[in-house]
Amino acid sequence: MTRKIDITLKVWRQVSPKTKGKFTEYKLSQIDQDASFVEMLDILNESLTLSGKSPVAFESDCREGICGSCGAMVNGKAHGPKKETTLCQLHMRMFNHNDTIFIEPFRAKALPIIKDLVVDRSALDRMISQGGYISVRTGSAPDANTLLIRKESAEKAMDAAECIGCGACIATCPNAAAMLFMSAKVSQLSRLPQGHPEREKRVQAMVAQMDKEGFGNCSNTYECEIACPKGISVTHINRMNREFLRASIKEA
């Protein structure tokens, strides 16, 4: 039987990057527990719009846990209390009647707030532009299929490829490090033969861009793995470090 709950929201409101923000309280009644968290925000915004107030700015696109657009801190946890779940896949059944829910944006120097819950993730795009792709000619699909790849390598590459670039790992890390995000991209391509021709250039360029963007250093607390909605393993960080060392030695 579907149950409806009343909740109190404490939402971070910030008009622009240069203005000060604050938590604003909203009360919602009769929220269906089968509604997703993002749908609940839609309900809030509808009520704000009808009352002539500015709706809460937040990001969403696919609403299927694929695109990585959505994301916020819910009661201090990236994407909310349920493990390996994006904000759009989080349902209100995870909360109780009369709960107070704090919602704020991902916070990191390299991911500045644009408005309310929206942050600028373009730093991640700039890191990808430095090597998170394959530019060498790999032939057509039939040509690629003739390359023999060990099952273990293919599976681990696909595990790394699950990263959706949401930024939860960065927001959760005490040092706001982007190591898990970047290592997933480096590890994915380094395990495939198509990625080998550019492996040294890739890791060095992406590390340099990461430092340039102002991300912190890895703190080895592994909170990033816990916060990741796709369960990306910190073992990819180890592989990226080895790739960087390999590239440095080869360059020397």
Structural domain spans, the chain = 4-114, 122-251
The highest-level CATH class for domain 122-251 is mainly alpha
Phi and psi of 196, rounded to 5°?
-70, -40
pTM score, whole prediction: 0.92
- Whether 4-114 shares its CATH topology with 122-251 is answered no
Would you state the pLDDT for residue 89?
97
- Can you give the pLDDT of all 252 residues of the chain as single tens digits? 568 999 999 999 999 999 999 999 999 999 999 999 999 999 999 999 999 999 999 999 999 999 999 999 999 999 999 999 999 999 999 999 999 999 999 999 999 999 999 999 999 999 999 999 988 776 777 766 677 889 999 999 999 999 999 999 999 999 999 999 999 999 999 999 889 999 999 999 999 999 999 999 998 999 999 999 999 999 999 999 999 999 999 887
Token couple for 92: 């209100």
Would you state the pLDDT for residue 214?
95
Beta strands per DSSP E along the chain: 4-13, 22-32, 73-74, 77-78, 99-104, 113-115, 118-119
Residue 32's contacts (CB-CB under 8 Å, 6 or more residues apart) are 2, 4, 92
- Rounded to whole angstroms, the Cα distance separating 100 from 34 reads 18
Would you state the pLDDT for residue 83?
95
Would you state the pLDDT for residue 238?
94
Asked whether 105 and 131 are in contact (CB, 8 A), the reply is no
Determine whether domain 4-114 maps to CATH 3.10.20.30: yes
Per DSSP bridges, beta strands 118-119 and 99-104 are: unpaired
